[in-house]
Amino acid sequence: MSLKHFHFVFLFFAILCDGGFWLWTRLAPEQTAEMGIGQLGMIAGWTSLALIGYGLWYLIKKSRSIIV
């Protein structure tokens, strides 16, 4: 597996984990409020969106100039 492909796999799992954490904080608000991590869920949601944007940028612009 090349470094470029590993980058895509790592981005996929990072987005999946951030999105899953955000979804958990939205589906169980009483638990997250009890633990005091409601704001972390919001940050994870924004981070997930930023990673999606970065992944698209990397796929469209950056990876075209990288050999194999």
How much is the pLDDT for 65?
72
Kindly list the domain boundaries of the chain, sorted by start residue.
3-62
Instruction: Express each pLDDT in 13-30 by its tens digit.
Output: 999 999 999 999 999 999
Class of residue 14 by CB neighbours under 10 A (exposed 0-12, middle 13-18, buried 19+): middle
How much is the pLDDT for 68?
57
Q: pTM of the entire structure?
A: 0.82
Q: Which residues of the chain have pLDDT under 50?
A: none
Q: 7 is written with which tokens? A: 């980058």
DSSP 8-state class, residue 65: S
Q: What percent of the chain has pLDDT over 70?
A: 94
How much is the pLDDT for 67?
59
User: What dihedral angle (degrees, nearest 10) is formed by the CA atoms of 44, 53, 16, 66?
Assistant: -130
